[in-house]
């Protein structure tokens, strides 16, 4: 069997009805996993789950929809219980949902509370059952902005830096339970959000500043998630995997 095969595996992906999260949940299903689709909108979750079942299920239900709002602390335990019941256990948790509150009173607190505090509590909520199952993988979706200061998104950048260190700390605590915890840091990725913010012209203008000279695609983040979730990544924990076309650590003006 392929090292990247996820047959018999169950994955929970928060924020998985659009953009990077949608690509992750689709590609994990394509690799054989049962998947829990989640976002704030139950109706949209059900629509995505139905599409995945039609495309990859072969007549079986391999995707189920469970709404979850990262900003609602009281929703963490009910979501955890429902997700674990969906397919009889969870092997991988992908913390992709994020808060990006840019302005206004409380924006900094709101962003850090959602992205760090609530993702930590979500991991801790899944941890006992995952340990009892024999282990698993937790993947925190960070960002290149967690390594370099970004204009106008101080709270978001700070929270993503915190997620990278949270992954290291959790990995240390959970290693004895065979639970691997890693952070994945995407660079500039083509998505609804980046297209709305930058437009096609803005994405094209950003490409020369990336050593690979192009913007990333959501499926390229999904591939890295599958690596970390599968047997291919079985000896990887406590690290940050940069999926950014070389943007963070390589000079963009190098000769290719």
Say whether pLDDT at 219 is over 70.
yes
Q: In what order do the strands lie in the sheet with 92-95?
A: 63-65, 34-37, 10-13, 92-95, 136-141, 179-186, 240-243
Tell me what pLDDT residue 223 has: 98
At 82-134, the pLDDT tens digits run 999 999 999 999 999 999 877 778 899 999 999 999 999 999 999 999 999 99
Q: What domains, with CATH codes, occur in the chain?
A: 10-243 (3.40.50.720)
Cβ contact 228:171 at 8 Å = no
256 burial (CB, 10 Å; 0-12 / 13-18 / 19+) is: exposed
The reply to whether 235 belongs to the active site is no
Of the candidates 126, 156, 227, 242, the residue annotated as catalytic is: 156
Give the span between the Cα atoms of 227 and 205, in whole angstroms. Answer: 30
Residue 255: how many CB atoms within 10 A of its CB? 3
Tokens of residue 17, six digits: 């009805």
């Amino acid at each position: 069997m392929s090292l990247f095969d996820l047959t018999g595996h169950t994955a929970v992906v928060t924020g998985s009805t659009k953009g990077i999260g949608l690509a992750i949940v689709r590609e994990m299903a394509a690799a054989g996993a049962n998947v829990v689709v989640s976002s704030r909108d139950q109706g949209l979750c059900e629509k995505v789950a139905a599409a995945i079942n039609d495309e990859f299920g072969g007549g079986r239900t391999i995707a189920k929809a469970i709404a979850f709002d990262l900003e609602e602390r009281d929703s963490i335990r009910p979501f955890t219980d429902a997700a674990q019941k969906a397919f009889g256990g969870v092997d991988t948790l992908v913390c992709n949902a994020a808060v990006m509150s840019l302005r206004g009173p409380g924006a900094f607190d709101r962003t850090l509370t959602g992205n760090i505090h609530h993702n930590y509590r979500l991991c801790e909520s899944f941890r006992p059952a995952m340990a009892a199952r024999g282990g698993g993988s937790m993947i925190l979706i960070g960002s290149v902005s967690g390594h370099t200061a970004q204009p106008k998104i101080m709270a978001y950048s700070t929270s993503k830096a915190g997620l990278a260190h949270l992954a290291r700390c959790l990995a240390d605590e959970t290693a004895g339970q065979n639970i691997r915890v890693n952070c994945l840091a995407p660079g500039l990725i083509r998505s609804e959000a980046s297209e709305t913010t930058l437009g096609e012209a803005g994405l094209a203008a950003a490409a020369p500043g990336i050593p690979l000279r192009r913007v990333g695609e959501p499926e390229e983040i999904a591939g890295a998630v599958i690596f970390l979730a599968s047997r291919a990544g079985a000896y990887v924990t406590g690290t940050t995997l940069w999926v950014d076309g070389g943007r963070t650590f390589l000079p963009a003006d190098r000769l290719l």
